Amino acid sequence: MKVLMFGWEFPPHITGGLGTACYGMTKGLARHGVDVIFVVPKAYGDEDQQAVTLRNASGIRFDFTDEEYREYWQRVKYLEVASNIIPYVGPEEYRRTAEARKKTGESFTSKVFSTQYEFSGTYGPNLMEEIARFALVASALALKEDFDVIHAHDWHTYPAGIAAKRSSGKPLVVHMHATEFDRTGENVNTLVYDIEREGMMVADRVITVSNLTRRIVIEKYGIDPEKVVTVHNAIEQKVTAEIAKLKRHIKDKVVTFLGRITYQKGPEYFIEAAYKVLQKDKSIRFVMAGSGDMLNRMVERVAQLHIADRFHFTGFLKGDDVNKMFALSDVFVMPSISEPFGLVPLEAMRINVPVVISKQSGVAEVLEHALKIDFWDVDALADSIYGLCRYHALSSMFKKHGKLEVENLKWENAALKVKQVYQDAVTSPDT
């Protein structure tokens, strides 16, 4: 079986869990005899292509006088109204960027339809321009590549998936890693919501990363439950020898938050819990690793609480730096307000770090050996952190059984379920 797959990022060039999940999934699919053509907006040349054939959308040229592309004009015009959407930033930063762009009088329609286009592959102010062009690339590739099914990851690539389906007639599977409701709560960006909904409506099958996400897809987007399938994420099992042997040279206990510092991830609850713990035990250190639109506000809050001497901000970490951070940690905390799945706790448990996670996360559906709290319950979060730091028997139990639990969450198993979704989509009489 051959799959034409669209994603916005691929390791080592990632901004979060999406690229990591795509990488693990493609490796798992390869073990089950599935050939994947993975298309990204921008390839850098250092990606691991053992399990995929990587296509660089930036290198594809077009002659837009060709009739085969004309039918996609309306789809790109539909995207034009949303040209200033920028995910993962707050309203103030969004407004500044949008106003700056208005002053320059930028328009992107001519750029999208230029013969040569260079993608940034990021989530910046030209995101919708890139999404529009990516859809055109998809339509062209779908006419030229040999494949059985299309797989599009998250809303950025849904227009590309739709374009590929319409030009090739092949079935479309879309993967929902996070909904607009997860990112923003009830203050949804209707343009993003509409793209998500159209992608899922047009798709022959929808894969969600948790039952939590499946419920949102069905209830808030009106998607037919019969075509929505949950496939939980997994985790790469190996860590480098350097990480496995890493020695820590600090006596204090270290409690870590690692992720985007945004509304969705609940960083403020981590800080409030840290303050409560430090009222009882001044020997514990807290680390917030990541970047995001709430970072400055979190720095200010730490200063207001007078805990800056016990609280550290590292900035964005990736690759082995993430594993090094875990190797130095005694507890990992994920207090997400709404987390479709959450790969980071699995990465921590893999390195023998006990975890505290919110009940409002998809990963809570598959983990037994983790302390689970409601994201808003700062007292319960503080108690959990203190207990894992100060009660050796409790910490040892979660380390031992947690690592064994994670070892059974393999991408090979998740990929087998995804392959079955492909087969159902290909053989269904409705496709």
Mean pLDDT computed over 125-129: 75
Greater model confidence, 427 or 16? 427
* CATH class (in words) of the domain with range 241-407: alpha beta
pLDDT at 167 over 50: yes
- Alpha-carbon span 91 to 180, nearest angstrom: 15
Least confident range of 120-134, 300-314, 329-343: 120-134
Predicted local distance difference test score (pLDDT) of residue 385: 98
Mean pLDDT of 90-99: 50
Spelled out in words, what is the top-level CATH class assigned to the domain 2-234+411-427?
Answer: alpha beta
User: How large is the average pLDDT for residues 76-89?
Assistant: 40
Nearest Cα residue to 4 out of 41, 42, 55:
55
Positions of CATH 3.40.50.2000 in the chain: 2-234+411-427, 241-407
| Residue 322 pLDDT > 50 | yes
- Amino acid identity of residue 285, one-letter, is R
Residue 109 has pLDDT above 60, yes or no: no
pLDDT band at 115 (very low <50, low <70, confident <90, very high): low
Residue 66 has pLDDT above 80, yes or no: no
Which of 94-103, 142-151, 217-226, 241-250 bottoms out in mean pLDDT, i.e. has the lowest? Answer: 94-103
Burial of 241 (0-12, 13-18, 19+ CB in 10 A): exposed
Position 395 pLDDT exceeds 50: yes
In the prediction, which pLDDT does 103 show? 53
| pLDDT above 80: residue 89 | no
pTM above 0.95, yes or no: no
Specify the pLDDT at position 84.
40
pLDDT surpasses 60 at 97: no
* Cross-strand pairs, 312: 287
